[in-house]
């Protein structure tokens, strides 16, 4: 019998994939503003101006930043072009003056759902513009049905533009093998556990086994002195890594956490001299993203309900030291 917390996590991850619910919420004049109050804790704003404002505050405090216009599975060429233009405007807005700025994107947001070649050409254009501006790009990793296509596009682009990196999900069984290959490419690897619901045959669920796998992969990347973002909020993993490896010893390694999650912990890591990056999502397509954040920590559900009644006011970089 699964615990209520695990059942809630599974249920939230399932409804997060339901396009009908997503469209209904997006179009509802009552529900959207209500749920937005709960989303606000995890999303910097609905517009790039708000995200860039938070980015500038965090840069001034010594963090690196990664800004994402949230969305996925864009279904027409016209929409994909609009999304690409939005990312071009974010690159422009960030400016790249400190070389600690990056953008994050999902390839299905800029074209992969329409065709692989569209995602590839749009990424190339963004990579070129970002490189000129001294900005890096991090490709997010999506469901396992897309992993081959995403890695293939990444490998073709990073050979020309080493400012482009890719996310690897430790929970997929295949990732150990993928890592061996990725170490031969120049781009940064962002190591995450994996947010998507996958079958037991293809992935580990949250467990000690998964933590060991994560640590093992992190150590392989660190020992290879390959650029890496250790992207986790898990205290067990963070403490174990701190014991095994001093991340301050190289500029190629950094910690990265999601906006609004454990700000006190990343502040502490920064105080101790580590390079730290905060991931800053914005936009109106936050439904899937916020469902994942609540599913990962069911206590966030209580918080979300409370936020709908008494809206969250700790906006911007206030919680980050």
The site for ligand FDA (CB under 6 A) is made up of: 140-141, 167, 169, 190, 192-196, 206, 231-234, 256-258, 261, 279, 293, 296-297, 300
Q: What is the DSSP string of 118-134?
A: HHHHHHHHHHHHHHHHT
Beta bridge partners of 167: 190
Q: How far is the CB of 27 from ligand FDA (least distance, A)?
A: 26
Q: How far is the CB of 232 from ligand FDA (least distance, A)?
A: 3
Phi, psi of 320 (to 5 degrees): -100, 130
Residue 141's SS3 state is coil
Q: Which is nearer to ligand FDA, 190 or 270 (CB)?
A: 190
Q: Which is nearer to ligand FDA, 7 or 76 (CB)?
A: 7
Closest by CA to 45, choosing from 106, 81, 90, 99, is: 90
Q: Which is nearer to ligand FDA, 3 or 27 (CB)?
A: 3
Q: How far is the CB of 65 from ligand FDA (least distance, A)?
A: 11
- Looking up tokens 């009552």 gives 30
Return all residues near 197 (Cβ < 8 A) that are at least 6 apart. 10, 13, 14, 17
DSSP state of 157: H
Return all residues near 317 (Cβ < 8 A) that are at least 6 apart. 54, 57, 58, 61
Q: How far is the CB of 303 from ligand FDA (least distance, A)?
A: 9
Q: How far is the CB of 76 from ligand FDA (least distance, A)?
A: 23
Count of other CB atoms within 10 angstroms of residue 230: 26
Return all residues near 269 (Cβ < 8 A) that are at least 6 apart. 238, 255, 276
Q: How far is the CB of 272 from ligand FDA (least distance, A)?
A: 19
Give CA 71 to chain center in angstroms: 12
Q: Which is nearer to ligand FDA, 194 or 283 (CB)?
A: 194
Q: How far is the CB of 66 from ligand FDA (least distance, A)?
A: 7
Distance CA 75, CA 253 (A): 36
Distance CA 233, CA 94 (A): 26
Q: Which is nearer to ligand FDA, 45 or 140 (CB)?
A: 140
Q: Which is nearer to ligand FDA, 45 or 281 (CB)?
A: 281
Distance CA 109, CA 90 (A): 15
Q: Which is nearer to ligand FDA, 130 or 141 (CB)?
A: 141
Q: How far is the CB of 68 from ligand FDA (least distance, A)?
A: 9
Q: Which is nearer to ligand FDA, 163 or 169 (CB)?
A: 169
Distance CA 13, CA 46 (A): 23
């Amino acid at each position: 019998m699964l615990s209520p917390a695990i059942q809630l996590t599974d249920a939230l991850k399932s409804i997060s994939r339901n396009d009908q619910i997503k469209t209904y919420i997006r179009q509802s004049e009552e529900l959207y503003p209500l749920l937005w109050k709960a989303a606000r804790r995890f999303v910097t704003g609905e517009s790039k101006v708000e995200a860039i404002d938070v980015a500038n505050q965090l840069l001034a405090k010594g963090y690196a930043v990664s800004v994402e216009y949230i969305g996925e599975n864009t279904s027409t060429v016209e929409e994909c072009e609009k999304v690409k233009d939005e990312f071009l405007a974010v690159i422009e807005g960030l400016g790249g003056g400190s070389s600690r700025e990056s953008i994050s994107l999902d390839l299905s947001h800029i074209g992969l759902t329409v065709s692989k070649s569209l995602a590839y050409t749009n990424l190339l254009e963004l990579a070129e513009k970002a490189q000129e501006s001294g900005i890096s790009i991090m490709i997010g990793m999506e469901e396992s049905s897309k992993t081959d296509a995403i890695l293939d596009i990444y490998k073709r682009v990073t050979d020309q533009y080493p400012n482009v990196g890719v996310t690897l999900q430790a929970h997929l069984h295949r990732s150990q093998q993928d890592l061996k290959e990725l170490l031969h490419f120049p781009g940064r690897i962002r190591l995450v556990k994996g947010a998507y619901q996958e079958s037991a045959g293809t992935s580990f669920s949250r467990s000690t086994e998964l933590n060991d796998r994560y640590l093992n992969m992190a150590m392989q990347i660190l020992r290879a002195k390959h650029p890496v973002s250790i992207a986790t909020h898990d205290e067990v993993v963070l403490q174990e890594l701190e014991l095994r490896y001093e991340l301050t010893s190289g500029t190629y390694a950094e910690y990265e956490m999601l906006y609004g999650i454990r700000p006190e912990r990343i502040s502490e890591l920064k105080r101790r001299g580590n390079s730290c990056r905060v991931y800053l999502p914005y936009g109106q397509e936050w439904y899937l993203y916020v469902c994942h954040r609540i599913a990962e920590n069911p206590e966030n559900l209580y918080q979300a309900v409370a936020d709908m009644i008494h809206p969250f006011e700790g906006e911007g970089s206030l919680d980050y030291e």
